[in-house]
Amino acid sequence: SQPLDLRLPTPGCYNDPERAGLDAKSVFDGMTEHLFFTLGKLAPTASRHDLYMALSYAVRDRLMMRYLATTEAMRAHPQKSVAYLSAEFLIGPQLNNNLLNLGIQQEAEAALRNFGIESLQQILDVEEEPGLGNGGLGRLAACYMESLASLKIPATGYGIRYEFGIFDQLIRDGWQVEITDKWLKGGWPWELPQPDEACFVGFGGRTESYIDDKGSYRSRWIPAEHAIGIPHDVPVLGYRVNICDRLRLWRADATESFDFYAFNIGDYYGAVEEKVGSETLSKVLYPNDGTDEGRRLRLKQQHFFVSCSLQDMLRSLDNRGLPVEDFPKYWTVQLNDTHPAIAVAELMRLLIDDRHMDWDKAWDITSRSVAYTNHTLLPEALEKWDLNLFSSLLPRHLELIYEINRRFLQQLRLRYPGNDAIQRKLSIIDEDGSKAVRMAHLATIGAHHVNGVAALHSDLVKTDLLPEFAELWPEKFTNVTNGVTPRRWVALANPELSTLLNEHIGEDWISNMENLRKLEERQNDQGFLEHWGNTKLSVKRKLASYIHRNTGVLVDPSTLFDVQVKRIHEYKRQHLNVLQVITQYLRIKNGQADGMAPRTVIFGGKAAPGYYMAKLIIRFINGIAETVNADPDMDGRLRVVFLPDYNVKLGEQVYPASDLSEQISTAGKEASGTGNMKFAMNGALTIGTLDGANVEIRELVGAENFFLFGKTVEEINDLKRSGYNPGAFINAMPELQEALRLIEMGHFSNGDSELFRPLLDNLTGHDPFFVMADFADYLRAQEAVSLAWTDRMHWNRMSLLNTARTGFFSSDRSIGEYCENIWNVGPLNVDITCDVR
**Per the residue annotation, which of 34, 60, 349, 375 is the catalytic one?**
375
Residue closer to ligand NBX, measured from CB, 189 or 673: 673
Q: Smallest distance, Å, CB 288 to ligand NBX?
A: 5
Strand partners, 179: 168
Residue closer to ligand NBX, measured from CB, 278 or 288: 288
Q: Smallest distance, Å, CB 381 to ligand NBX?
A: 5
Q: Smallest distance, Å, CB 508 to ligand NBX?
A: 27
Residue closer to ligand NBX, measured from CB, 166 or 555: 166
Active-site residue flag, 375: yes
Beta carbons within 8 Å of 835's beta carbon, 6+ residues apart: none
CA atoms within 13 A on the CB side of 744: 11
Amino acid at 354: D
* Contact residues: ligand NBX, CB under 6 A: 134-137, 140, 288-290, 292, 375-376, 381, 453, 482, 670-674, 692
Residue closer to ligand NBX, measured from CB, 101 or 481: 481
Q: Smallest distance, Å, CB 292 to ligand NBX?
A: 5
Beta carbons within 8 Å of 577's beta carbon, 6+ residues apart: 564, 601, 603, 662, 664
Helices (H) and strands (E) in the chain, counts: 33, 23
Q: Smallest distance, Å, CB 294 to ligand NBX?
A: 10
**Per the residue annotation, which of 161, 232, 488, 572 is the catalytic one?**
572
Q: Smallest distance, Å, CB 486 to ligand NBX?
A: 17
Give the helix/strand (H/E) hosting 233.
strand 225-237
**Per the residue annotation, which of 139, 152, 566, 649 is the catalytic one?**
566
Shortest-Cβ-distance residue relative to ligand NBX: 136
Which CB contacts under 8 angstroms, 24+ apart, belong to 217-225? 218/353, 218/356, 219/352, 219/353, 219/396, 219/399, 220/353, 220/396, 221/349, 221/353, 221/395, 221/396, 225/258, 225/274, 225/277, 225/278
**Per the residue annotation, which of 246, 438, 599, 678 is the catalytic one?**
678
Residue closer to ligand NBX, measured from CB, 73 or 141: 141
Residue closer to ligand NBX, measured from CB, 108 or 148: 148
CA atoms within 13 A on the CB side of 155: 32
**Per the residue annotation, which of 438, 487, 522, 567 is the catalytic one?**
567
Q: How does strand 225-237 pair with strand 244-254?
A: antiparallel
Strand partners, 344: none
Q: Smallest distance, Å, CB 160 to ligand NBX?
A: 12
Strand partners, 564: 603
Residue closer to ligand NBX, measured from CB, 693 or 788: 693
Amino acid at 12: G
Q: Smallest distance, Å, CB 675 to ligand NBX?
A: 8
Residue closer to ligand NBX, measured from CB, 340 or 673: 673
Active-site residue flag, 368: no
Q: How does strand 192-193 pair with strand 81-85?
A: unpaired
CA atoms within 13 A on the CB side of 499: 9
- DSSP-based three-state secondary structure for 594: coil
Burial of 454 (0-12, 13-18, 19+ CB in 10 A): buried
Interatomic CA distance for residues 778 and 264, integer angstroms: 70
Active-site residue flag, 674: yes
Question: Which string of DSSP letters, residue by residue, matches 58-126?
Answer: HHHHHHHHHHHHHHHHHHHS---EEEEE-S-B-----HHHHHHHHT-HHHHHHHHHTTT---HHHHHTT
Interatomic CA distance for residues 204 and 210, integer angstroms: 19
Active-site residue flag, 572: yes
**What are the catalytic residues?**
375, 566-567, 572, 674, 678
